[in-house]
Structure 1
């Protein structure tokens, strides 16, 4: 049997003991969830979850500008990459010495199901992948039930300041929020991560989310904005729970369910 990656390349089950390098933090976490920690031979410096399981795994730099020669020295059988998070030219150069480059590109929450099956199939972890799929479906159903009971809301999700940046509706982040009943602003954008004028953008937003990554918004930022732009709901949100796919998406769906319920309750009080 074979499984297709994001570029349509078919990958069969690897017959030996793989040596895997992950250049994507969320995929590194997923490998551990699939029971592949012993096969993980390299990671980026941003691959930090789960921390204890990653101690001793060599760091190769960032998702962009990673140390190619150090990666080569690890002699991986597989390198896991992502279309959004890794540079195309750097990934293309890996084909010179890596037998299998697996390209991923989840665009919405339910794409995680195929991601679980892809890596579970390649690395002979189909039972573990099936367990993740089942857990995902449970959380997806629970979130959908909550979202169906509450009115849909327009929200502004901020990922950077000075200048301010948000997310377009064709991003994974926006589609995760949509699963909770939150439609991101702007409604139309030519860029996936548009630069915005904050004073104008907040006008139609019922909630303004301040994400913890890539810009680390903190409580002091929320308090400052509350003082400067009163009359809006300014809410800190865990960016990893919204933007990380893989096994983190299961926790992300549960997190969004709790957050949606909590904010709804606060609005009624």
Structure 2
């Protein structure tokens, strides 16, 4: 019996790719996942932000950034598949790629558990179901381990940018990751499926900041440093709040990184108890 087509986040069904697939990934965490699935020989292009696995990814040609894709560079690679993400890639760019790429695979995980569907999708398209199933089983084991522990509730501000200051809405993947250890992001807003409202700007005199116990300065997309942490810790608006750096890759990268990300969150959450 022929396997049912795999359906991506845009509702598009994809047939099995075959052994001659040529993949361009425009999503850093997906590039890492493709390597974890054993697809290294089929990856022909990636963005400059696709930096993991660090030693092996260097051999893959770059095609610009996630927001500034070099269309001609992609065209020259003759991909059969380009993998994109609703949050990370511009709709206009994806439309341009559709003109000459036979298969655009759209991804949009919003919770850690969504990674299981992501593994299954890529496993079905690129015939690496065993590797995908192994990742799914490993992620399930991590989620079960999380559920066995009682995590005290924490109210956090997760900062991703400065000038302007920006954070995350509660319906983002980042916020869902933090909720695994009962850390709830503030402000208590939802941003919708797409758009800038998912990553709202804020000021440190916002009334809701009184609810926050911990301020988490992410290492990406803005690379916060000890100097930023020290400056904010001395700010009168944040008096009495814990200000600390957090590894943004571990919290915001889905795919195979989600497994290590859960281990990382469990470690720092235990230290905060």
Task: Return the TM-score normalized by structure 1.
Answer: 0.94
**1:252: Cα distance to partner?**
0.7
Does residue 50 of structure 1 match 2:53? yes
**1:189: Cα distance to partner?**
4.9
- Residue 144 of structure 2 aligns to a residue whose secondary structure is helix
- Residue 101 of structure 1 aligns to a residue whose secondary structure is strand
- Residue 110 of structure 2 aligns to a residue whose secondary structure is coil
Q: Deviations over 1:22-57 (max 9, x none)?
A: 011000000000001111000000000011111221
The 3 A distance-change label for structure 1 pair 152 and 247 is: same
- Given candidates 188, 198, 203, the residue that maps to 1:197 is 203
Task: Give the corresponding residue for 1:267.
Answer: none
**1:197: Cα distance to partner?**
1.4
Assess if the C-alpha contact under 8 Å between 2:151 and 2:181 holds in 1.
no
Task: Give the corresponding residue for 2:194.
Answer: none
After TM superposition, what 4+ stretches of structure 1 lie above 4 angstroms from structure 2? none
Assess if the C-alpha contact under 8 Å between 2:171 and 2:190 holds in 1.
no
**1:224: Cα distance to partner?**
1.6
Q: How many residues align?
A: 262
Task: Give the corresponding residue for 1:81.
Answer: 84
Task: Give the corresponding residue for 2:244.
Answer: 235
| Distance in 1 of aligned mates of 2:30 and 2:108 | 11
Does residue 150 of structure 1 match 2:154? no
- Aligned pairs for 1:57-206 (under 5 A) are 57-146=60-149, 149-189=150-190, 191-200=197-206, 201-206=208-213
| Distance in 2 of aligned mates of 1:18 and 1:177 | 36
Please report the RMSD computed on the Cα atoms of aligned residues, expressed in angstroms: 1.2
Does residue 209 of structure 1 match 2:216? yes
Higher mean alpha-carbon deviation, 216-225 vs 172-181, is at 216-225
- Residue 84 of structure 1 aligns to a residue whose secondary structure is coil
Assess if the C-alpha contact under 8 Å between 1:107 and 1:171 holds in 2.
yes
Q: Deviations over 1:223-255 (max 9, x none)?
A: 122222331111211011111110011111111
Higher mean alpha-carbon deviation, 134-143 vs 188-197, is at 188-197
Structure 1, unmatched stretches of 5+, are: 265-269
- Residue 258 of structure 2 aligns to a residue whose secondary structure is helix
Task: Give the corresponding residue for 1:33.
Answer: 36
Task: Give the corresponding residue for 2:23.
Answer: 20
Structure 2, unmatched stretches of 5+, are: 192-196
| Distance in 1 of aligned mates of 2:205 and 2:143 | 34
The 3 A distance-change label for structure 1 pair 189 and 12 is: closer
Higher mean alpha-carbon deviation, 128-137 vs 157-166, is at 157-166
| Distance in 2 of aligned mates of 1:158 and 1:202 | 12
The 3 A distance-change label for structure 1 pair 230 and 24 is: same
